[in-house]
Amino acid sequence: MDNHRPHTGRRRNEHVRQAILDGALRLLASAQGSPVTVEAIAREAGVGKQTIYRWWPSKGAVLLEALTDRAEEAAPSPDTGSLHSDLRAVIAATFGGAQDPSTAPALHTLVREAARDPHLAELMQAFTGTRRAVLREVLTRGRERGELPAGRDLDLMVDQVYGVFWYRFLLGHAPLTEEIADLLTDSLIAPGCTGEPAPA
């Protein structure tokens, strides 16, 4: 496990920060199950190890920030005024972003490392929590507009989306396609699934 070191609060150079995050993702993508170290990230980014420790408390924090940045770029929080459009956009972007050539192997490697690193597992939980919050915000706005019944369990809806995502992503038994994003969106907000009366 990494030695945790306090953040010094020094201002980070954005160019160097991005080089470190990009380097971490490249290493995760090519690690093939081997642990990624702070030393390896520093070499890949062309910086000193102490630069990383000045700005992040651990290797896991670097990996989390790298994946969070990538996830926010790939799957932002839309607000078009339509629950169907917003929900479909988040699901499709989540499915598509996770299959990016650099993101997919990195995410697989991070999940494997989290299984044997309790600190990284905590950070992974924080990462997934931020993505859940984006989806829940979309659902909350839809409910406030009357597009979902007031009693609908939003957390269960989020679980359904990410349950499909993680099951298919980790086991690889079925694809995460645009068509699946459409079907999942429709099934989540169909009248029969929300507690609304089905059309006569």
Q: What is the pLDDT of residues 11-56, one digit of tens each?
A: 668 899 999 999 988 887 776 666 788 999 999 999 999 999 999 8
Q: Given this model, what pLDDT does residue 197 score?
A: 40
User: How far apart are alpha carbons 191 and 5 in whole angstroms?
Assistant: 52
Q: Quick one: 105 and 144 in the same domain? A: yes
Q: How confident is the model at residue 194 (pLDDT cuts 50, 70, 90)?
A: very low
Angle at 27 between CA 44 and CA 107, to 5 degrees: 145
Q: Quick one: 32 and 127 in the same domain? A: no
Q: Give phi and psi for 20, each to the nearest 5.
A: -70, -45
Q: Given this model, what pLDDT does residue 191 score?
A: 60
The answer as to whether 134 is a domain residue is yes
- Over residues 71-123, the pLDDT tens digits come to 777 666 788 999 999 999 999 999 988 887 777 877 887 788 788 888 888 88
Distances (CA, A) of 116 to 29, 109, 110: 18, 11, 10
Residue 192 pLDDT more than 60? no
Q: How confident is the model at residue 135 (pLDDT cuts 50, 70, 90)?
A: very high
The answer as to whether 174 is a domain residue is yes
Domain of 37?
Answer: 14-63
Q: Quick one: 79 and 138 in the same domain? A: yes
CB atoms closer than 10 angstroms to residue 111: 15
The H-or-E segment that residue 187 falls in is: helix 178-189
pTM for this prediction:
0.76
Q: Quick one: 170 and 189 in the same domain? A: yes
Q: Quick one: 169 and 82 in the same domain? A: yes
Q: Quick one: 72 and 55 in the same domain? A: no
Q: What is the CATH number of the domain that holds 20?
A: 1.10.10.60
* Helix pair angle (154-171, 178-189), 10° resolution: 160
What is the tally of structural domains in the chain?
2
Count of residues making up the chain: 200
User: How far apart are alpha carbons 195 and 55 in whole angstroms?
Assistant: 48
Give the chain's end-to-end CA distance (angstroms, integer): 60
User: How far apart are alpha carbons 18 and 41 in whole angstroms?
Assistant: 12
| Amino acid, res. 8 | T
